[in-house]
Amino acid sequence: MKLLEDKILKEGKVLNGDVLKVDGFLNHRLDVALLSELGKDIAETQKDCGANLILTVESSGIAIAFAAAEFMKLPVLVAKKNKSSNISDGVYSSPVFSYTHQTQNNVVVSKEYLGKGDKVLVVDDFLASGNAAIGLLSLIEQAGATAVGFVAAIEKEYQGGRALIEKKGVPVYSLARIVKMNAGEIVFD
Amino acid sequence: MKLLEDKILKEGKVLNGDVLKVDGFLNHRLDVALLSELGKDIAETQKDCGANLILTVESSGIAIAFAAAEFMKLPVLVAKKNKSSNISDGVYSSPVFSYTHQTQNNVVVSKEYLGKGDKVLVVDDFLASGNAAIGLLSLIEQAGATAVGFVAAIEKEYQGGRALIEKKGVPVYSLARIVKMNAGEIVFD
């Protein structure tokens, strides 16, 4: 999506060779008008996916998921991150390792809000190694629900997450797909 | 706001006498259509506040802040919660004690996105004791910016947060104002 690619080229910063800092518009300061446009694009590209629910994970997935949900007229389920190893009976839980923070979290949703028969579109801000994505797909599997698609605003294709998701039979769509990145350049697919 | 009060009466659950569980529509599963209506109400009631920025805190403030920002055509700055005592030079930071989780966090924003001259409307999901609110207002003060208002979706008036905010000269608006609550009843102002 050209609008997002242009914004990344204009305002994104590549740190330490591999971290794309987009906190001026995507996940710290939110460019709400831009995010609405991203939501509209998601709604258009996913209009035939059959989802009755969008699943995302706190906290940087919430805004993009919400923007898509408004156009798709769907509710959003926000998976919580939880450091505790005490998991209550009332939730589905899956471990996720964060390379950025070098920490292990659980992603958790209440069983009350995800169940058999749900058709779930997963929406997140980033797709890189796919760790978070696989954790979210596991929640859907545990609930006996179906993942109908995975959408990321920005994909770092070379980190391999897409392949892991597609291997589970879940289609992947990203609005900006980075195939190569370093301090001097960002190359899109 | 009657729409929100009715939703709370219909789906809210009072736990342990004082915890209002609204995670079916406000902060775990998001009722996006309802949140859009709340955003519209905030935009209408705050249309003369003069804000150029909305400030909220992750993660349960993001959706309501985003919904308001869409109608107000403003960006949102999302304060991050940070357990670490290592605060970098590039941020404003303020300690916040959470009664719900019995933990101390810092709320943190990048200096890059909040500065002198900014007129800031703070939007959050809950106002209770006012701890989080005071932490957010402190970030605004540190930046030399001005808080033009504080908005909460749900206020537990009897916990005293409103008075703390108003003492700082900041007007408070809540969409549903609970004056009394127990397992058997929820009473609005």
* Nearest residue on chain B to A108, alpha-carbon basis: B28
Q: What percent of chain B has pLDDT over 90?
A: 87
User: Coil, strand or helix: which one is B63?
Assistant: helix
CB B113 within 8 A of CB B145: no
Summarize the confidence of residues B28-55 as an average pLDDT: 98
Band of pLDDT at residue A70, cut at 50, 70 and 90: very high
> In the predicted model, is pLDDT for residue A88 greater than 90?
no
As a whole number of angstroms, the distance between CA B189 and CA B177 comes to 6
Give chain B's contact residues with A (Cβ, < 8 Å): 23-24, 27-33, 35-36, 58-59, 62-63, 66-67, 69-70, 73-78, 80, 109-110, 112-113
> In the predicted model, is pLDDT for residue A27 greater than 90?
yes
User: Coil, strand or helix: which one is A62?
Assistant: helix
Band of pLDDT at residue B83, cut at 50, 70 and 90: confident
Q: What pLDDT is stored for residue B93 in this prediction?
A: 96
CB B156 within 8 A of CB B130: no
Kindly report the average pLDDT of chain A as a whole number.
95
As a whole number of angstroms, the distance between CA B173 and CA B176 comes to 9
> In the predicted model, is pLDDT for residue B101 greater than 80?
no
Q: What pLDDT is stored for residue A16 in this prediction?
A: 83
- Are B113 and A27 an interchain contact pair (Cβ–Cβ within 8 Å)? no
- Are B29 and A70 an interchain contact pair (Cβ–Cβ within 8 Å)? no
**What's the N-to-C CA distance of chain B in angstroms?**
11
- How close, in Å, is residue A60 to chain B by CA atoms? 8
> In the predicted model, is pLDDT for residue A86 greater than 80?
no
Which one of B15, B22, B29 makes the best mutation probe of the A interface by having the most chain A beta carbons within 10 Å? Answer: B29
Taking each helix axis as running N to C, give the angle between helix B62-72 and helix A32-45, from 0 to 180 degrees, rounded to the nearest 10: 100
Q: What percent of chain A has pLDDT over 70?
A: 99
* Nearest residue on chain A to B69, alpha-carbon basis: A32
Q: Say which residues have a Cβ less than 8 Å from residue A155's Cβ, sequence separation at least 6.
A: A126, A127, A128, A161, A162, A172, A174, A176, A177, A178
Residue B150: alpha-carbon gap to chain centroid: 7
How many inter-chain contacts (A to B, CB under 8 Å) are there?
92
**CA atoms within 13 A of residue A89's CA, in its CB half-sphere:** 0
User: B45-48: long-range contacts (C-beta < 8 A, 24 or more apart)?
Assistant: B45/B151, B45/B173, B46/B72, B46/B121, B46/B149, B46/B151, B46/B173, B47/B72
DSSP E strands in chain A: the ranges are: 13-15, 19-21, 29-30, 53-57, 76-82, 91-98, 103-110, 119-127, 146-156, 172-182, 185-188
Q: What pLDDT is stored for residue B58 in this prediction?
A: 96
Kindly report the average pLDDT of chain B as a whole number.
95
Q: What pLDDT is stored for residue B102 in this prediction?
A: 83
Residues of chain A in contact with residue B112, where contact means CB-CB under 8 angstroms, are 24
- Are B32 and A112 an interchain contact pair (Cβ–Cβ within 8 Å)? no
Q: What pLDDT is stored for residue A2 in this prediction?
A: 97
Summarize the confidence of residues B114-127 as an average pLDDT: 97
- Are B23 and A77 an interchain contact pair (Cβ–Cβ within 8 Å)? no
Q: What pLDDT is stored for residue A153 in this prediction?
A: 98
- Are B77 and A28 an interchain contact pair (Cβ–Cβ within 8 Å)? yes
Summarize the confidence of residues A9-36 as an average pLDDT: 94
Q: Say which residues have a Cβ less than 8 Å from residue B123's Cβ, sequence separation at least 6.
A: B42, B54, B55, B56, B61, B64, B65, B68, B151, B152
Helix (H) or strand (E) holding B79: strand B76-82
DSSP A113: G
- Are A29 and B113 an interchain contact pair (Cβ–Cβ within 8 Å)? yes
Q: What pLDDT is stored for residue B167 in this prediction?
A: 98
As a whole number of angstroms, the distance between CA B181 and CA B175 comes to 16
Tens digits of per-residue pLDDT, B123-162?
999 999 999 999 999 999 999 999 999 999 999 999 999 9
Residue B68's φ and ψ, nearest 5 degrees, are -65, -40
Tens digits of per-residue pLDDT, A152-179?
999 999 999 999 999 999 999 999 999 9
User: Given the structure tokens 């609204």, which residue do they identify?
Assistant: B22
Q: Which of B24, B28, B75 sits opposite A78 (nearest CB)?
A: B28
> In the predicted model, is pLDDT for residue A99 greater than 80?
no
Q: What pLDDT is stored for residue A144 in this prediction?
A: 98
Q: Say which residues have a Cβ less than 8 Å from residue B172's Cβ, sequence separation at least 6.
A: B127, B149, B150, B151, B152, B155, B162, B165, B166
User: Given the structure tokens 């993009």, which residue do they identify?
Assistant: A64
- Are B59 and A62 an interchain contact pair (Cβ–Cβ within 8 Å)? yes
> In the predicted model, is pLDDT for residue B99 greater than 80?
no
Q: Report the candidate in A158, A185, A149 with the shortest Cα–Cα distance to residue A56.
A: A149
Q: Which of A23, A28, A78 sits opposite B30 (nearest CB)?
A: A78
ipTM: 0.96
Helix (H) or strand (E) holding A44: helix A32-45
- How close, in Å, is residue B73 to chain A by CA atoms? 7
